[in-house]
Structure 1
């Protein structure tokens, strides 16, 4: 009889432990609620933003060449530059993947897409495909991308967890997502109230079915993380 009682107590304890605590549920709910709303901002004045995005001052703290190097991009890779803007990283990806590779430069701002299409044509970047996409749909083929690059864009996206789930379907086996965004106290970036902290970003990716692969620490104003889908 005593053994049966002990067994019952153990089973009840394990059953109770299988449920998240109130604090865990509350944290997850907070993350999910914040992930529903992005920061909406017009980039219609392309030439104004081109001066900012393409400035030499940005090169100093953005360290684009070191970012490209750290991603270990191989010739022949397919890279998706999400929120490509003026092509600051697109041009570098084009060089890294080579003639056998492909770069999808995606943006939801028509004026940016027009600008980037002209840039790609003028620079003869034949391995770059510029696409206008909807804010809630990256419009990428299934299992078609080696690296999805999201730099200073995540905070603009509504329903981020669902969006990230869509992105995972586009990754090839072994593919990854590279995320870069501003620290809360950085002197650049969106308004403080719309920034996503590193901890929040990791939590959102985990809820979307990813795990953190790598963390880079060489950027002064931004966190730089790599994620892969959980297996």
Structure 2
């Protein structure tokens, strides 16, 4: 589900972009554009009737990639570039937790998550491409991991059980959802009482991040979209070289809401210039 975004794109990844499906253009209502945060958000009995989005709350939706680009996800220098080991540490996983890697691909994050929660825990590994799940299964089998639950999701439905997930991870994938409202509804429904979403997205505000602009998100835009869909920010980590790491809970969760640190302050501390929203 994730799209390679590094400037040095291989010929194989260029071919991937040609295989990506086109999206149907859909207008966004004035109410949606306001981005108002419904503090008493209660999901309807049925999933939102949503058309595929080309633009959502002012943001152009990116296209997902084919499974042919999977090798980029497990490239040898990924930790060096993105400090993924620090991101993983910030997830604060414990044995017995029930997790979800949404947009799991070939399992770069799924496998260490499964090891961390142990046999008493579980990891729902969701992807919309069966080929990705097959690649994940092959890698998991070599490590003899039995606590991974592969799920073939849909573009508008993560196909997760209700009130079950303690932590749901999305790494550089949310911005590609063609049905963001429906997906967020399903995600919100899947969380346990104090479950959280851990969202990693490349910083749009930072021009030094070598990723195509369409595959970045600003903190302001992330907050706009998550507040509009019944989530509140409960934690964040601002020390990664390329990405925002933000943690969201349901608006009715008992976890305390926090105010986000302005990205301008983050970039100043990191010694970076700023652009975008």
Query: TM-score, normalized by length of structure 1?
Result: 0.80
| 2:35 alignment counterpart | 28
Does 1:220 find its partner at 2:271? no
Map residues 62-141 of structure 1 onto 2, 5 A cutoff.
Answer: 62-141=82-161
Q: Distance in 1 between matches of 2:74 and 2:110?
A: 12
Unaligned ranges ≥5, structure 1: 1-22
Question: Does the 8 Å CA contact 2:181/2:229 hold for their aligned counterparts?
Answer: yes
Q: CA RMSD in A?
A: 2.3
How much has 1:162 moved relative to structure 2?
A: 3.1
Unaligned ranges ≥5, structure 2: 1-29, 37-54, 253-277
Return the index of the structure with the highest Cα Rg. 1
Q: Distance in 1 between matches of 2:112 and 2:179?
A: 29
Moved over 4 A (4+): 23-27
Length, aligned pairs only: 203
Q: What do residues 39-89 of structure 1 show as CA deviations (whole Å, max 9, x unaligned)?
A: 2233231xx531x22123111132223222212211100100000112111
Question: Does the 8 Å CA contact 1:161/1:207 hold for their aligned counterparts?
Answer: no
How much has 1:143 moved relative to structure 2?
A: 0.4
Of the structure 1 ranges 75-84 and 194-203, higher mean CA displacement relative to structure 2 is found in: 194-203
The 1:150–1:222 alpha-carbon spacing in structure 2 relative to 1, beyond 3 Å, is same
Structure (1/2) with the larger helix percentage: 1
How much has 1:135 moved relative to structure 2?
A: 1.5
Q: Distance in 2 between matches of 1:223 and 1:65?
A: 15
How much has 1:32 moved relative to structure 2?
A: 4.5
Question: Does the 8 Å CA contact 1:182/1:188 hold for their aligned counterparts?
Answer: no
| 1:142 alignment counterpart | 162
| 1:196 alignment counterpart | 217
The 1:186–1:154 alpha-carbon spacing in structure 2 relative to 1, beyond 3 Å, is farther
Q: What do residues 69-111 of structure 1 show as CA deviations (whole Å, max 9, x unaligned)?
A: 2122111001000001121111110111111000111111222
The 1:128–1:59 alpha-carbon spacing in structure 2 relative to 1, beyond 3 Å, is same
The partner residue of 1:59 within 79, 87, 101 is: 79
